[in-house]
Amino acid sequence: MANGYLSAQILIIGHCTLNNSPLKKVTVKVMESGKAQSSSYTTSSDLFRSRLDFGKNYTLVFTHPDCITQFMEVNAINVPAEKQDMLMTYEVDLPFFAKADEAIDSTVFKSASHKVIWNGNRQMVDDSVYNTFFLKSVLKKEPVSIKVEPVPDQAVPVQLTGYFTFSSSQKSYPAYKEVRLLDKNNRLIKQTRTNRYGHFVFPSVKINEAVWIDLVFPETAKNPEQTIKLYSSEKKELEVKPLNASTLRFSVTPDLGDNAYTQMVGGKLILSDPAQKQFFANKTVYLSNYRNTIVKKATTNSFGAFVFENIKPGSDYLVGVDQDQIKNGQRLDMVNKDDKFARTLDSVAGKRYSAKFSASDNPLYNDIVLSEEDMKMNVSATLYGDNINNPLGKLKIILLNDRYEPIDSAVTDDFGTFKFKYLPFLKRFFLSADNGEHNLDVFNNVLVYSSEENLIKVITVIKGNKLVYKPLATEMSALKDVFLDDPWLDVMNNKKVNAPIIENIQFDFGKYDLLPAARQTLDKVVMALKANRAIKIELQAHTDSKGNSIDNLRLSEARAEAAKSYLSEHGVDADRIISKGFGETRLLNQCSDGIICSEEQHAQNRRIEFRVIQD
């Protein structure tokens, strides 16, 4: 011991956790120069303590029967003698990972899961750069999209997926319809249903046995003048059929095979207590797998909205928030993008309140699954030459889609940061940087950092050439911020809104009483109008063509007035609201009297439009 003091050591205090819960029965072995120095066992607690001498490097090995073995490195060899007369205490929450967790890449644990270093003064601290990168590497990388061709002589398991649309001027989908997968003898292999966007998924299909896909409608839906289109998950049109029968048959083709197909989920979180209800705004939301391992996190916007990408069909997940965000007497509800109640986050998992869902055909999942059409995204990063002391300012960046077509351009600021805002959702994109004046040639590499200041990529500079960056799937996740498209955010931020804002506010048949989901949507309108008091709105209610046109006109007027009254009762000056009812006079599609249409097509016409009046 330095100067003979027992306290002149390094004291490592650790708390073992599994999915944020205390983990007991962990064996901790201290190694130095390949030899065991000591061993301990946590029995009634998650706590371990290890005293280490200065002037050496140590490896602490952690084993648990249900968890992946991992080790921590403590670098104390370079602490000088004049600093060795004090007790340096280091405390850490050390996460463990279940052996059976298929989301975890166990191969990365060949390296240290955590490193501790001397900070040059009086403390042992995290090697934060290393530890951050290690935690990012723990989750398995997302798969690269690979199309699987059918092999005649063997069964190749593949995920079959695609989607159906009605062939009409407005996008509409055969929602919640039965889909059957059949072999060449018309024997049923599997069956499922389309989701709200007409998508279907058949996991783990022997592709050489699947021959037909049947889409089933009610007898009353038959309409020879209407057609149904089948698309691949990559939006390739495959087949078109007239809706002249209750069961339409389509062929299975290689284009329907997509093992990398994933979906998106999202909604809004509403915090309420007996006194008030409010959006769960600007808070962290976690997505965990069925073992409660966090695989993604997001931050809610002003309306409590969040989005998670890369949801694997057939898998189980939890959406959760930190327990300390919900006080006694409060409840946190999740509603879908149309403000329909989905689930209360009331299950305790680790230190989070959560709600479980299965990514398959069930009412909850069908409510929260999203379409790319619902989404917008931002893309941002900061660029440095060779190291973070050289931000690359005034550099023109071009964003390209997966066909290498330019989408937008931006110029980095003095700190090397660029941002593309409010883009249509893109699954894949590329970036290129202009090197016309050879400004990049003085560097060997360009470092790409995320908005959270994490290193994403090191790109080698090829002298004289422009810089081209083709992000991997995991890198794109770090570059982009995906969010629900909501024009009311523009209203709140005083931006120009040219097109009417359409909300599918639902009413019971023939009634004008506001349903809970309608009130939830109007709460968002209230918030936007209170934030931007310089505007007025014209509220226009519309019906479908079913029923009497005069009755529909009166009904739409009553519904418009009901919405106006709600806004006024919640603090919006009635003089700022014009309400009108148009009945069935402004249909969005061809579904007028005498035309046979599906319920999905009629639903498009039942809506309330808000025309923003800006000075």
Domain with residue 228: its CATH number is 2.60.40
Quick one: pLDDT at residue 593? 85
Pairing of strands 10-18, 212-216: unpaired
Final residue belonging to a domain, choices 322, 342, 370: 370
Q: Please give the full DSSP string across 516-566, using - where no structure is assigned.
A: HHHHHHHHHHHHHHHH-TTEEEEEEEE--SSS-HHHHHHHHHHHHHHHHHH
Same domain, 183 and 214: yes
Final residue belonging to a domain, choices 484, 499, 515: 484
Same domain, 567 and 610: yes
Domain count, the chain: 5
Same domain, 461 and 500: no
For residue 350, being part of any structural domain is answered with yes
Strand partners, 356: 318
pLDDT, averaged in runs of 10, over the chain (615 residues) = 56 90 92 91 91 93 95 92 87 91 88 92 85 83 52 66 82 90 95 94 88 93 88 94 94 92 94 88 93 90 93 94 93 92 91 94 92 91 93 94 90 95 90 84 92 87 88 86 87 81 79 86 90 90 90 92 94 93 88 79 84 83
State the CATH number of the domain containing residue 570.
3.30.1330.60
Rounded Cα distance, 313 and 319, in Å = 16
Same domain, 9 and 129: yes
For residue 107, give Cα distances in angstroms to 97, 138, 197, 492. 12, 9, 38, 48
Quick one: pLDDT at residue 169? 55
| Torsion from C-alpha of 220, 225, 226, 230, nearest 10 degrees | 120
Taking a C-beta distance cutoff of 8 angstroms, is the pair 462, 441 a contact? no
Question: Percentages helix, strand, coil for the chain, rounded to the nearest 5?
Answer: 15, 45, 40
For residue 151, being part of any structural domain is answered with no
For residue 553, give Cα distances in angstroms to 505, 518, 540, 565. 17, 20, 11, 18
What's the one-letter identity of residue 418?
Answer: F
To 5 degrees, how large is the angle CA 215–CA 220–CA 221? 45
State the CATH number of the domain containing residue 17.
2.60.40.10
Reported as type and span, the H/E element at residue 580 is strand 577-581
To 5 degrees, how large is the angle CA 144–CA 163–CA 304? 75
Quick one: pLDDT at residue 91? 92
Rounded Cα distance, 33 and 447, in Å = 36
3-state secondary structure of 490: helix
Same domain, 9 and 127: yes
For residue 587, give Cα distances in angstroms to 141, 277, 544, 601. 46, 35, 7, 10
| Placement of tokens 């093992």 in the chain | 259
For residue 63, being part of any structural domain is answered with yes
Same domain, 173 and 104: no
| Whole-structure pTM value | 0.78
Rounded Cα distance, 268 and 422, in Å = 19
Same domain, 500 and 478: no
Same domain, 409 and 350: no
DSSP secondary structure letter of residue 447: E
Joined tokens for residue 297: 């996190």
Same domain, 68 and 96: yes
Final residue belonging to a domain, choices 484, 514, 537: 484
3-state secondary structure of 110: helix
Same domain, 439 and 516: no
**Other Cβ atoms closer than 10 A to 128:** 10
Q: Give the closest residue to 527 by CA, choosing from 279, 300, 335, 332.
A: 279
Taking a C-beta distance cutoff of 8 angstroms, is the pair 211, 251 a contact? yes
3-state secondary structure of 367: helix
Joined tokens for residue 407: 């989408």
What's the one-letter identity of residue 160?
Answer: L
For residue 290, being part of any structural domain is answered with yes
For residue 224, being part of any structural domain is answered with yes
**Other Cβ atoms closer than 10 A to 330:** 14
3-state secondary structure of 21: strand
Parent domain of 571: 487-614
For residue 145, being part of any structural domain is answered with no
Q: Which residues of 526-536 are buried (b: 16+ CB within 10 A; e: fewer)?
A: bbbbeebeeeb
For residue 63, give Cα distances in angstroms to 67, 96, 101, 113. 7, 9, 16, 13
For residue 331, being part of any structural domain is answered with yes
Same domain, 27 and 123: yes
For residue 149, being part of any structural domain is answered with no
Joined tokens for residue 312: 């694997």
Taking a C-beta distance cutoff of 8 angstroms, is the pair 403, 345 a contact? no
| Placement of tokens 């995290």 in the chain | 126
| Torsion from C-alpha of 150, 153, 158, 163, nearest 10 degrees | 40
The answer for residues whose C-beta is within 8 angstroms of residue 530's C-beta and 6 or more apart is 571, 572
Taking a C-beta distance cutoff of 8 angstroms, is the pair 526, 568 a contact? no
Same domain, 132 and 224: no
Rounded Cα distance, 431 and 392, in Å = 15
Using DSSP, how many helices (H) and how many strands (E) does the chain show?
7, 42
